[in-house]
Amino acid sequence: MQIANDTVVQFNYTLKDEQGEVMDTNEGKAPLAYLHGHDNMLEGLEKALDGKNEGDSFSVTLAPADAYGERDESLIQRVSIRHLQGAKRWEPGMVAMVHTENGPRQVVVVKVGRFMADVDLNHLLAGRTLTFDLEVVSVRAATGEELEHGHAHGEGGHQH
């Protein structure tokens, strides 16, 4: 079956950075599943997967604009160290959790003072050119329930 809107796709992936270093992979784990055409996936990835078939393997390189966006230097903000969660002592480069109006999010600590720290609110992968090696494991029609929920069920998808 071919990947099209309202199909459930299972796939394996390896994410590499600009130097070809592996940043993330599901190797050794179950494939991921998602419902195609319902904004469940990075747009650039969904575009690359569209029309592919079960068993296809391919690579796609996404510029920042097609992945997690360009970096925005105005998103570096000064916050009280008390608001950083996840460690007792902070050093530049560490990832902290902060609570924002939109819920908890990960930030990278840029600079640490005595009481205040500069943190980077950009997505961890903002400004990065990302290469995904993809393997389409299976493609099937979504069930009515999946379409109603807007996501895939079963292995690699939502379990509920």
SS3 state at 47: helix
Minimum CB distance to Zn ion, residue 30 (Å)? 18
Q: Using the minimum distance from each CB to Zn ion, give the nearer residue, 21 or 148.
A: 148
Minimum CB distance to Zn ion, residue 27 (Å)? 27
Instruction: Count CB atoms within 10 A of the CB of residue 140.
Output: 15
Q: Which letter, b or e, does each residue of 49-66 get, where b requires 16 or more Cβ atoms within 10 Å of its Cβ?
A: beebebebeeeeebebeb
Minimum CB distance to Zn ion, residue 41 (Å)? 16
**Residues at the interface with Zn ion (CB under 5 A):** 149, 158
Phi-psi region of 150 (alpha: psi -120 to 50; beta: other; left: phi over 0): left
Q: Using the minimum distance from each CB to Zn ion, give the nearer residue, 71 or 149.
A: 149
Q: Using the minimum distance from each CB to Zn ion, give the nearer residue, 61 or 143.
A: 143
Minimum CB distance to Zn ion, residue 158 (Å)? 5
Q: Using the minimum distance from each CB to Zn ion, give the nearer residue, 140 or 158.
A: 158
CA atoms within 13 A on the CB side of 77: 10
Q: Closest residue (Cβ) to Zn ion?
A: 149
